[in-house]
Homo-oligomer: A and B are copies of this chain.
Amino acid sequence: MEISRYYTPTRVVFGKNALSELGGELKKENAKKVLVHFGGQSAKKSGLLDKVLSILDENGISHVELGGVKPNPRLSLVREGIALGKKEGIDFIIALGGGSVIDSSKAIGYGLKYEKDVWDFYSGKAKPEGAVGVGAILTIAAAGSEMSDSSVITNDESGWLKRGCNSDVCRCHFAIMDPEYTYTLPPYQSACGTVDIIMHTLERFFHSGDGISLTDNIATAMIKSVIESGRKVMEDPDDYEARANLMWASSISHNGLMQVGNDNRGDWTCHQMEHELSGMFDIAHGAGLAIVFPAWARYIYKDHVERFAKLGNLVFSYEGNDEATALKTIETFESIFHSLGMPVHLKDAGIELDEKKMEELLDKLTNNNTRTLGVFHNLKRDDMRKVYEIAR
């Protein structure tokens, strides 16, 4: 059994009116000049941005703002943030939004402590050794970036590669989490978030080597709760408890809790296959995962009947330890994703994956035939093609 690490230094402030603690949290950071980074109009329209700026003013902290973060956050805006931050002498970043805004903020944080090209950290050319601190004010429950060591950026300047960088250095210093901020999320985005949370947990559930049953049990208890809460917010977007469950689940599904005692951090093939898809077609991450997971699972499950059956047993109380149970488990996840309004095939999302695009995807995914994917089940280029074919 390998040594596993768990490190989650983020100060979580959770519940209604959590924003009232922002001033106190910023004092702990000794922040003097803050970059407030956000997405589109919703932060303005909801009045949340104004509230944040008021709190900064009340606490005598100067600030500059940079909006415009899009889903699959772009390198070009990261560069803009770094230039602005250097010019303004920024010493702390507030990420006001969901995973895309937080990932973009983390990248800006890296860049502010680095003299060379920030893409070096995403291309694997360099490892970050420091970063300007980020504090998150979460408005979307999905990516878990508020507690994770991960940041994923899309290179819109060259090749639309979507690449991640993992480092403890970028973990948020604090996270303000008020579930009420997610009431106004459109159903499609809530569904995407639900799938993303489930998949962050499943990627880790499908690890190789040894693991401990306590982590399996906690992971599957959480998935059950997320499925139930996802359904509830589809019916009533203002269901506080369901929103709270999803928000906290988003954090703990991706902060490392779901891999303690496992030999590794999990498989992550579905995420990588989805990253290239959404890099190329710009579909929402959760929707892409809802397409890729059933296809991946169908392609490999016969070699891993026991693990898929165990998942079905723990989440859906399915009995038996055979191919039929394993397949039923996969079908149930697919049907849950579908019932949340997610696409479960590429065609459902209007994506036509012709042979030319397929080759392009596979080139990117295999880094021009230099890498394979997965520790739970290793996929080579031809396997990846078959998974995408099933997904069509």
A214 near B249: Cβ-Cβ < 8 Å? yes
B3 near A260: Cβ-Cβ < 8 Å? no
Which B residue sits closest to A229, measured CB to CB?
A: B214
Docked Cα-Cα span, A78 to B364, in Å, equals 60
Interface string of A223-245 (1 = CB under 8 A from B): 01110110000000000110011
Contacts of A221 in B (CB 8 A): 217-218, 220-221
Say how far A212's CB is from chain B's closest CB, in angstroms.
5
Query: Is A18 part of the contact surface with B, judged by Cβ < 8 Å?
Result: yes
Q: How many residues of A contact B (CB 8 A)?
A: 44
Docked Cα-Cα span, A261 to B225, in Å, equals 14
Say how far A249's CB is from chain B's closest CB, in angstroms.
6
B7 near A14: Cβ-Cβ < 8 Å? no
Tell me what chain A mostly uses at the interface: helix, strand, loop, or mixed: helix
- Among A346-392, those with CB < 8 Å from B are none
Interface string of A209-221 (1 = CB under 8 A from B): 0001111011011
Say how far A18's CB is from chain B's closest CB, in angstroms.
5
Interface string of A242-262 (1 = CB under 8 A from B): 001100110010000100110
Which B residue sits closest to A16, measured CB to CB?
A: B1
Query: Is A40 part of the contact surface with B, judged by Cβ < 8 Å?
Result: no
Asked if A214 meets B248 with Cβ closer than 8 Å, knowing A3-B17, A3-B18, A221-B221, the reply is yes
Which B residue sits closest to A245, measured CB to CB?
A: B214
Cβ 8 A contact of A15, one of B4, B7, B8, B14: B4
Say how far A259's CB is from chain B's closest CB, in angstroms.
10
Docked Cα-Cα span, A214 to B214, in Å, equals 16
Contacts of A284 in B (CB 8 A): none
Say how far A167's CB is from chain B's closest CB, in angstroms.
14
Say how far A246's CB is from chain B's closest CB, in angstroms.
8
Docked Cα-Cα span, A49 to B377, in Å, equals 41
A213 near B245: Cβ-Cβ < 8 Å? yes
Cβ 8 A contact of A5, one of B1, B13, B17: B13
Query: Is A222 part of the contact surface with B, judged by Cβ < 8 Å?
Result: yes
Docked Cα-Cα span, A4 to B6, in Å, equals 21
Contacts of A6 in B (CB 8 A): 11-12, 14
Query: Is A282 part of the contact surface with B, judged by Cβ < 8 Å?
Result: no
Which B residue sits closest to A224, measured CB to CB?
A: B217
Contacts of A10 in B (CB 8 A): 7
B15 near A11: Cβ-Cβ < 8 Å? no
**Residue of A9, A14, A16 with most partner-chain B CB within 10 A:** A14
Which B residue sits closest to A17, measured CB to CB?
A: B3
B229 near A225: Cβ-Cβ < 8 Å? no
Docked Cα-Cα span, A17 to B2, in Å, equals 9
Contacts of A11 in B (CB 8 A): 5-7
Contacts of A214 in B (CB 8 A): 222, 225-226, 229, 244-245, 248-249
**Residue of A14, A17, A212, A217 with most partner-chain B CB within 10 A:** A212
A248 near B212: Cβ-Cβ < 8 Å? yes
Contacts of A226 in B (CB 8 A): 214
5 contacts between A and B (CB under 8 A): A3-B18, A212-B244, A214-B222, A214-B225, A218-B222
A-B interface, 10 closest residue pairs, ranked by CB to CB distance from nearest: A221-B221, A6-B12, A214-B245, A3-B15, A9-B9, A217-B221, A214-B225, A212-B244, A7-B11, A217-B225
